[in-house]
Structure 1
């Protein structure tokens, strides 16, 4: 390497090498129960990565190279913060063997006399009793990715993990390409995309722990980019595909109403109706190969569990739960899990009819507020749920989600004890910081 070049990039090179070392330590030398090591590594990675983005924001090629290198550090590592990948492999092998993953509960299916898939017992044990005792709740396009791994790696868990990683890394590259284009199109600095692409949260939770929010995010940003360019038909198709990876983008459909009718030159009410129909048709077509009334019932019951049974790293819900214990004397999650989503819907409707939609940036800002309301009112907020608001925040002036992506890892404290008890002090600290930064940014917006 040229000596002058080394001197010029000496500090970034040292920072990048440190990141690689920390990512390797995270991938191959960390157990989920070791909370203090996890937080130490993650904190160091956040500091170094954000420093790299700030220093190299005019050298996008170098940042792209680092994004790929950091992800490749995980290529031969099994996920160490999540066991969900066992269920992904299970569902994929079911499809590859001709079974419908929505039709059977794993711990029941394994007892069938004619049922045989490689490593079935290992996968059941790996996914845990909670997953093994319920129907699959992963939408069809996600299942297609599982099926590819099931077909090409029918007897190797590591082989399946590598295939999943390839899909996720390719999705991140797609987000990088179309995220940059969208930023440029709406007049924002292109380097902002690296607050997502080089964010340790995204690299660890998506590439490292195989959460497919990366694929959902890629299809979502592609959809918004196509809509911004006036290609609303293909925007609707890709939005439907995004929903078919994860259901979350469904909440954004009402927000397109004002966006369409506010630009009568390119978009109008007729096109809006067509847009909705195409999105819904795409979703329905993706479910068609699996469909039966029984399958629909199983899938909806599995999705409903997240609202009425599970609780993790919540904010407003935990306050409601505490009040419920004081008044009722028991956990009111079943009631709260039905009422809180109503407030989410009301907020989204408020954003739909009482906010401005003159341009794509305003649409993206309202989408960010919608998903933020959803998460603040949810009973369960796993760290990887922040992928979508983090991406949306890049196209706005709001930065509170970047703070959230740092402090959300405090939620892993729950796994350092055998009872999986959360620290309410750490949960409180997380949300005080997030809501504090959000309030500060909103106050500044009002002032300006």
Structure 2
């Protein structure tokens, strides 16, 4: 009788916390304005408390966690994103392709000013919604992303909301895929399956991906699927799927050198390993080029490289080490040295990736994934721009490792919105005190993770 009462008590508490979480997510999706930073912090913190309780209570009951996770996602179905404007550009690009135009060859600003778009539904609302900065630059979204944008615009209806629903359904479907292949990969690695819910049930993922419609989730789906295929011995198919990941977001390109030791140590000879590695790279490169081919032209190359370069040499947001380097530059020259520092950062990142690739043992699935986590972390630590949704990739990789700092970062990343909100222009006048608090916490946990890892290895 005492056991039954205990179960009943837990059941009632679960329903209560699910209801509370639903109310919080509804408030987040439908009544939060970006300038309401106290409300933002309060809702986000309360959701993390509920998230922690769900994981602690139901880690042995993953079906319950699955139902809860996708129930929370369903709440956002009819919501227009309130923390990001990027979705306006997604819908715009999708319409360009549907109209038979190459989205990489002209900017929305140019198209509007020249009156080039006749019969384009909602063009002015999309143009105004994406903002002048976005509208004045060429698109930087790779072809698989563009395909998703087209699919979203094929949802019945001509409103922006109908396209938003399409985008959201694609992202939710990707989360189902991450859950499926993430669990299978954890089983192969003989790790607790419930840890995938550190990603799937995390309020950060639900808000930033399902809510704000960022396509890191689709890229991550292909990345985790590719890792599962690689660990399962299907390296050729892993290369194909990795190309799909790269063609959604370019960031997995940074992982390519890390596969060197994996192939040389998991074959009968170094020669055979190098041969497989070259074939792996050839497949990744070939499929990626094939996906880009429908948009290819000399102008495309010029526009795309120009846009990608902007992220290193023009944009600044929520950075850490870069801001220190920038202040040093101010002290010696009196002006912002981003153009110079932005050229140095890629070189430093490449050198770090090569060091990790050649001198760190990345021979097992866990050490390979850990290497991916470390190089991507180093890139974000040195980057000029770190938007909140970038942390999603670190979070999913950390699920398969002993590192916890991405989980902590997924919580404190909300502070970056405070800097953005308080100034109204995150690129020029961020509140550096807020950013400093965020990174002091992240770096503190990061170095604690390293200390604990080295301590265990020395035992």
Out of 252, 263, 273, the position equivalent to 1:260 is 263
* 1:254-305: CA deviation from partner (whole Å, max 9, x where unpaired): 0001111011149721111100000011110110001001011101111110
How many Å apart are 1:8 and its aligned residue? 3.8
RMSD: 1.4
SS of alignment partner, residue 28 of structure 2: helix
* 1:332 and 2:337 correspond: yes
SS of alignment partner, residue 413 of structure 2: helix
How many Å apart are 1:4 and its aligned residue? 8.0
* Correspondence for 2:444: 436
* 1:76-114: CA deviation from partner (whole Å, max 9, x where unpaired): 000000000000000000100111100011011123345
* Correspondence for 1:236: 239
* Distance in structure 1 (CA, Å) of the matches to 2:277 and 2:316: 36
Q: Does the 8 Å CA contact 1:32/1:416 hold for their aligned counterparts?
A: no
* Correspondence for 2:453: 445
The unaligned stretches of length 5 or more in structure 2 are none
* 1:284 and 2:284 correspond: no
* 1:248 and 2:225 correspond: no
Q: How do 1:181-330 residues align onto structure 2 when only pairs under 5 Å count?
A: 181-265=184-268, 268-330=273-335
The unaligned stretches of length 5 or more in structure 1 are none
* Distance in structure 2 (CA, Å) of the matches to 1:13 and 1:296: 54
* Distance in structure 2 (CA, Å) of the matches to 1:353 and 1:136: 35
Q: Does the 8 Å CA contact 2:143/2:291 hold for their aligned counterparts?
A: yes
Q: 1:114 to 1:372 in 2, by over 3 A?
A: closer
SS of alignment partner, residue 9 of structure 1: helix
Higher alpha-carbon deviation: 6-15 or 60-69: 6-15
* Correspondence for 1:415: 421
* Distance in structure 2 (CA, Å) of the matches to 1:170 and 1:6: 33
Q: 1:429 to 1:340 in 2, by over 3 A?
A: same
How many Å apart are 1:419 and its aligned residue? 4.2
* Distance in structure 2 (CA, Å) of the matches to 1:152 and 1:91: 15
Superposition TM-score, scaled by structure 1 size? 0.97
* Correspondence for 2:47: 45
* Correspondence for 1:167: 170
Q: 1:353 to 1:114 in 2, by over 3 A?
A: closer
* Distance in structure 2 (CA, Å) of the matches to 1:433 and 1:114: 49
SS of alignment partner, residue 113 of structure 2: coil
How many Å apart are 1:423 and its aligned residue? 1.5
Out of 117, 128, 133, the position equivalent to 2:136 is 133
* 1:383 and 2:388 correspond: yes
How many Å apart are 1:115 and its aligned residue? 1.9
Q: 1:265 to 1:172 in 2, by over 3 A?
A: farther
Q: How do 1:86-125 residues align onto structure 2 when only pairs under 5 Å count?
A: 86-116=88-118, 117-125=120-128
Higher alpha-carbon deviation: 141-150 or 251-260: 141-150
How many Å apart are 1:310 and its aligned residue? 0.2
How many Å apart are 1:150 and its aligned residue? 2.6
* Correspondence for 1:404: 409
Q: Does the 8 Å CA contact 1:341/1:377 hold for their aligned counterparts?
A: no
Q: Does the 8 Å CA contact 1:178/1:222 hold for their aligned counterparts?
A: yes
Q: Does the 8 Å CA contact 1:340/1:378 hold for their aligned counterparts?
A: yes
* Correspondence for 1:23: 25
How many Å apart are 1:178 and its aligned residue? 0.3
* Distance in structure 1 (CA, Å) of the matches to 2:443 and 2:6: 46
* Distance in structure 2 (CA, Å) of the matches to 1:101 and 1:183: 39
Q: Does the 8 Å CA contact 1:118/1:154 hold for their aligned counterparts?
A: no
Q: Does the 8 Å CA contact 2:223/2:241 hold for their aligned counterparts?
A: yes
* Distance in structure 2 (CA, Å) of the matches to 1:105 and 1:284: 23
Superposition TM-score, scaled by structure 2 size? 0.95
* Distance in structure 2 (CA, Å) of the matches to 1:30 and 1:440: 35
* Distance in structure 1 (CA, Å) of the matches to 2:94 and 2:7: 48
